Amino acid sequence: MATQETSSTTAQNFLRQFRDKKTRKFREISASSFMDVWNHYDSDGNGYIEGSELDQFLYELVTSVNTQDVGPEVVSQAALKEAKQSILSAFDENKDGKIDIAELAQLLPMEENFLLLFRREHPLESSVEFMKTWRRYDEDHSGYIEADELKHFLKDLLKSFEKTVTEEQLITYADTMLQLFDRNKDGKLQLSEMAKLLPVKENFLLRPIFKQAPGAKQLTAEDIGRVFNLYDRDGNKSIEDEELHGFLKDLMELVQEDYDADDIEEFKDILLRECDINHDGRIDKDELSMVLVSFARASVGPEGDKAEGGEGQAGAGETD
């Protein structure tokens, strides 16, 4: 646990304890101290520092450089506002007006090896690669990444960066990551929790073509083919296994924030029952067309149906 200074001024500003008394610069923050900071400011435990939590965090981040909260050192409101805007502009990567765990790790001077665990500079290419990684480390096929499995994952991750850590450090990292990302506090990581720890470059289904306004052009055969190739990583003309699970993960993230392996399997059963026309347990390009056109229509709503039938619209049987 972080050791707080006993002065009343430090108690008023949680971050002040992490600054060097002479230079007023932040000292390197350990994994356990980072968890203390996160838990202090994410007071409602929803996985974000936002609203009044964010205001308090940014205020204390800016003013912690001062040795006290009163007197000539106090930062003016104008300077404080400017500093808040600069901090959010630099570190709120997805521009949602709140700070998540990985963004906080970039903002504070973290222990180098611990910071590498967030992979912000080295995201996975896609959810297909994510599912391959998930399958590799879910060693007992329980549908969860448990403590020992997480430790193996973190060890291999650090090794890929040519970093070595002691067993004690590894246990600390795994325990900290569990406490940070295990939102339902069951002592293991479900799919959506692991997805926060192991980000991908993009969810292909968030591309603008799937966010059509009523009256916009329909999905074309070219659009469908492009998406198909993104998921058909081995080029065998079908989306299957981890490719299919990666596609389902991307779809799932559009409709709910928390999901586990059982949710993906249930979603898979529904998708194959409705769209796997030849019942081979895989999705080919025509079948994907059915899924994507239905999804695009649903994202527009009833008003978008009147645009149906226009030239260039992709439908089953038109994508070869």
Residue 28 within any structural domain of the chain: yes
Report the pLDDT averaged over residues 104-129: 83
Do 261 and 177 reside in the same domain of the chain? no
Is pLDDT at 177 greater than 60 in this prediction? yes
By residue range, what is the domain housing residue 143?
Answer: 127-197
CATH number of the domain enclosing 218:
1.10.238.10
- Give the mean pLDDT of the chain: 82
Q: Are residues 164 and 155 in contact, defined by beta-carbon separation less than 8 angstroms?
A: no
Which residue has better confidence, 219 or 63? 63
One-letter amino acid at 166 equals T
How far from each other are the two terminal CA atoms of the chain, in whole angstroms?
Answer: 60
Residue 155 within any structural domain of the chain: yes
Do 105 and 17 reside in the same domain of the chain? yes
Per residue in 35-65, pLDDT (tens digit) is: 899 999 999 988 899 989 998 998 898 888 8
Do 98 and 144 reside in the same domain of the chain? no
Residue 132 within any structural domain of the chain: yes
Q: Is the pTM value of this prediction over 0.85?
A: no
Residue 203 within any structural domain of the chain: no
Residue 184 within any structural domain of the chain: yes
**Domain end point (choices 61, 78, 110):** 110
Do 141 and 219 reside in the same domain of the chain? no
Q: For the packed helices 31-41 and 167-181, what is the interaxial angle rounded to 10 degrees?
A: 10
Do 104 and 74 reside in the same domain of the chain? yes
Do 212 and 189 reside in the same domain of the chain? no
Q: Are residues 109 and 64 in contact, defined by beta-carbon separation less than 8 angstroms?
A: no
Q: How far is CA 168 from CA 155, 156, 157, 172, 174, in A?
A: 12, 16, 16, 6, 10
Residue 313 within any structural domain of the chain: no
Is pLDDT at 190 greater than 70 in this prediction? yes
Number of domains in the chain: 3
Do 94 and 132 reside in the same domain of the chain? no
Q: Are residues 137 and 149 in contact, defined by beta-carbon separation less than 8 angstroms?
A: yes
Do 217 and 300 reside in the same domain of the chain? yes
Do 151 and 105 reside in the same domain of the chain? no
Query: What is the pLDDT, as a whole number, of residue 217?
Result: 55
Residue 147 within any structural domain of the chain: yes
Sign of CA dihedral 227, 231, 232, 233: positive
**Domain end point (choices 177, 197, 217):** 197
Query: What is the pLDDT, as a whole number, of residue 307?
Result: 39
Query: What is the pLDDT, as a whole number, of residue 206?
Result: 80
Per residue in 230-287, pLDDT (tens digit) is: 999 999 999 999 999 999 999 999 888 899 999 999 999 999 999 999 999 999 999 9
Residue 117 within any structural domain of the chain: no
Do 25 and 72 reside in the same domain of the chain? yes
Max mean pLDDT range (16-25, 113-122, 288-297)? 16-25
Per residue in 126-174, pLDDT (tens digit) is: 999 999 999 999 999 999 999 999 999 999 989 988 888 899 999 999 9
Query: What is the pLDDT, as a whole number, of residue 167?
Result: 92
Do 177 and 232 reside in the same domain of the chain? no
**Domain end point (choices 53, 80, 110):** 110
